[in-house]
């Protein structure tokens, strides 16, 4: 395994059992706005509520710019057999030297609980370790976010520590769990998962 990150020239398409992941486009903005303006989902994801769908232009530009800077990768999540995205998933590089990134994922409420998030996270973690060259992926979730915690455990993440909420903070007042998945700790079954990408 390379000791440096092999950042791609284009966002790679990844194909799994229930979903495929592809580059974000302008067509994904309306679905982004519907998700991002859902107050419960926004709090769980740690994202601010957008004022208007026009902010989707900046949302897309920001992801493209961070990709160009080799700072992050973000995919649209599309259920197999469809062309419309139902969510996004991404990796933000938090340490190039230590080959570490943070996982983020949001799916629209209408598609929660269908296994889509788990399928997408398996694709991204598989790609991250076998092709991108990450050594470790972290994920920070609100302690009360049971769906996200369960998703991470299913994909092989382990609880690293609790990040206590700050009662004096306006934004970070809730307890969070920090989960970690290391390339060395993946089981052979996790490494064999059905990952195909172009
Ligand atoms: C968290 C999220 C990405 C999960 O995606 P999803 O496609 O709904 O997840 P899956 O269908 O793959 O389900 C994952 C597991 O969580 C379980 N789960 C779902 N909702 C649950 C809940 N409210 N309580 C407990 N478990 C729950 C599912 O049953 C499944 O476990 P199982 O296979 O053992 O039954 C999605 O709910 C979401 O986008 N939420 C809002 C934003 C968010 O929280 N993002 C993550 C921030 S870290």
For residue range 69-111, what is the model confidence (pLDDT) as tens digits?
999 999 999 999 999 999 999 999 999 999 999 999 999 999 9
Q: What is the mean pLDDT of residues 49-71?
A: 97
Query: Under the phi-then-psi rule, with left for phi > 0, alpha for psi from -120 to 50, and beta for the rest, what region is 133?
Result: left
* Ligand 1-lining residues (CB < 6 angstroms): 41, 44-45, 105-107, 112-118, 139, 141, 145-148, 150-151
User: Ligand 1 centre from 107 Cα, in Å?
Assistant: 9
Residue 195 reports pLDDT greater than 60:
no
Please state the φ and ψ torsions of residue 147, each to the nearest 5 degrees: -65, -45
Give the separation between CA 173 and CA 160, rounded to whole angstroms: 19
**Residue owning the nearest CA to atom 17 of ligand 1:** 147
**Is the model more confident about 195 or about 41?**
41
For a substitution probing ligand 1, which of 113, 119, 124 has the most ligand atoms within 8 Å of its CB? 113
Which pTM does this prediction carry? 0.94
* 124-178 residue pLDDT tens: 999 999 999 999 999 999 999 999 999 999 999 999 999 999 999 988 899 999 9
Q: Which two tokens stand for residue 12?
A: 């790679």
User: Ligand 1 centre from 88 Cα, in Å?
Assistant: 14
Residue 121 reports pLDDT greater than 60:
yes
Predicted confidence at residue 182, as pLDDT, reads 97
Predicted confidence at residue 192, as pLDDT, reads 67
Residue whose C-alpha is closest to residue 159's, from 167, 168, 148: 148
């Amino acid at each position: 395994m390379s000791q440096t990150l092999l950042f791609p020239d284009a966002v790679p398409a990844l194909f799994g059992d229930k979903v495929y992941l592809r580059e974000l486009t302008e067509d994904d903005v309306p679905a982004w706005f519907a998700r991002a303006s859902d107050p419960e989902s926004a709090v769980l994801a740690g994202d601010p509520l957008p004022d208007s769908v026009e902010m989707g232009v900046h949302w897309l530009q920001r992801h493209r710019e961070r990709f160009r800077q080799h700072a992050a990768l973000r995919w649209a999540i599309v259920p197999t057999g469809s062309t419309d995205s139902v969510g996004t998933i991404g990796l933000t590089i938090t340490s190039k030297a230590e080959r570490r990134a943070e996982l983020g994922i949001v799916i629209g409420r209408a598609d929660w609980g269908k296994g889509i998030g788990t399928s997408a996270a398996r694709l991204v973690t598989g790609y991250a370790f076998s092709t991108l060259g990450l050594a470790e992926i972290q994920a920070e979730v609100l302690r009360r976010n049971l769906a996200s915690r369960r998703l991470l455990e299913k994909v092989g993440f382990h609880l690293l520590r609790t990040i206590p909420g700050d009662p004096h903070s306006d934004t970070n007042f809730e307890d969070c769990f920090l989960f970690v998945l290391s390339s060395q700790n993946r089981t052979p079954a996790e490494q064999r998962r059905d990952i195909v990408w172009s």
